[in-house]
Amino acid sequence: MSAAVIALLLGGAGIAIGATPAQAAETKFNVKCVPPAGGGDPVEGETTAKVSAPASAKVGDEVDVSWETVKPASNNTDLMDIPQDSVQPTGWITLGGGGGELKVVGEKKNPPIPKKAPMQMSTMKGKLKLTKPGKITLTPGKYDVAVTFSFGTFVTKCAPTGDVGVGATIDVAAGTSGGTTNGGSTNGGSTNGGSTNGGSTSGGSTSGGSTSGGGGGQTDFPGKPVEVAFDCGPVVPGGIKTPVTINAKKNGGSYDLTVKTAKGAMASPMALPAGALKPSMNVKLGGADSGMVKVSGPANAEPIPDKAPVSLSDMTGTYKPGKTGKVTLSPDQLTIDVTMAPGATPINVPCKAASSGVSLELDTTAQEGGSGSPTTTGSTTASGGLAETGAEDEGGIKALALVAGTVILLGGAVFTFTPWRRLRGTR
């Protein structure tokens, strides 16, 4: 990106008279980045920032300041591709000389970012009102990176782990204006949403969804996506990671639940017939109530061609409260029944939720015969199953496969499935 693009656009009479052209300097520093819950372990790396500001100005001027990420501290994860124009950075620049902190915000503008590719972020910008003479140093500090998908926004929080060099210095001359230092531009929009609270100082936790339910005439209670890690045993090395959202609609004293997993992920490694995939899940109750609510979805209505995107259908069920009070709902065990031919015995693939979180909280009133339903149980468990899934686009099933050498008899036909790891290596 050229210097002209990242240079400050000096506007306003005061700036045109009192401010000199922008200066920009690069500084390298180490940071620790904490992804949202379920997004993996913290990552440490070195980033290069270029801070731009006028070399000199006078008291009363409002000057433009920008922070360009020349080199990101880390790459995108291997869980998902990041879509175009979905990344919004927010940074905080420390102002030397008692100036406090300046918030700078970037546009939600980026090219598509493949898995494991370097992150790309727009230049963050803000405005600084100069209120006293002297030298003001500008040093890049902590920053957030919010990535928005159709199913929610996920925020990674980064902070320096050591000393950071000064990015720019403004020599402020005495002027006729006074006033107080203004904290910079906060344009760029809010970055909250998804399973984490974006654009704020909260730590990217998987906070719950709606915190009210059953009162005030409200009938629809949307949950928030929560990143869930499913352990499917040796069938799926590394397990499954996908966002899950639990929504509720009040129906009398009960609640109709709809559970959404990620959709449209990786290509299927083989052609799958209509009716091949039927998902179900246990929703765990917490807080005032306990037990499980089983939800299930229909099988795929259409055949899935080889290498076509694969999705799980939405799963539905009914929660009849057995207790009065605040009840939390969290994704628990996921089960997928795979049927490769009409009348064949389904292959049952159970995946336990190794890590999860609260997607929804309801304020319930106890109903007779309430609390939970029978939990998910298997049809027929084979040595094969579904390969790992993860979030991409809307997050979804990452791939389908069965263990190497597994042979399944379906009527008179014999099907041998190839491991997704091998298929992935030939793409």
Instruction: Kindly state the average pLDDT of the residues 189-204.
Output: 35
Residue 64 has pLDDT above 80, yes or no: yes
Select, from the ranges 20-29, 47-56, 189-198, the one with the highest average predicted confidence (pLDDT): 47-56
Q: 213-226 pLDDT, tens per residue?
A: 444 568 999 999 99
- pLDDT number for residue 122: 96
The Cα–Cα gap between 358 and 199 comes to 21
Summarised one tens digit per residue, pLDDT across range 332-347 is 999 988 887 777 777 7
**pLDDT band for position 416 (50/70/90)?**
very low
Residue 79 has pLDDT above 80, yes or no: no
Tell me what percent of the residues of the chain surpass a pLDDT of 70: 66
Tell whether the model's pLDDT for residue 398 goes beyond 90: no
Sorting pLDDT into bands at 50, 70 and 90, what band is 264? low
Between 267 and 322, the higher pLDDT residue: 322
The pLDDT, as a whole number, for residue 421 is: 35
Nearest alpha-carbon partner for 120 in 142, 87, 160, 80 = 87
**β-strand partners of 27:** 49
At residue 37, the pLDDT reads 60
pLDDT at 172 over 80: yes
Q: Which pLDDT score, from 0 to 100, does residue 322 have?
A: 93
More confident call, 263 vs 120: 120
Give pLDDT tens digits for 132-167: 999 999 999 999 999 987 656 788 999 999 999 999
pLDDT of the residue at 80: 74
Confidence of residue 311 (pLDDT cuts 50, 70, 90): confident
Please provide the distance, in angstroms rounded to a whole number, between the alpha carbons at the two ends of the chain.
Answer: 32
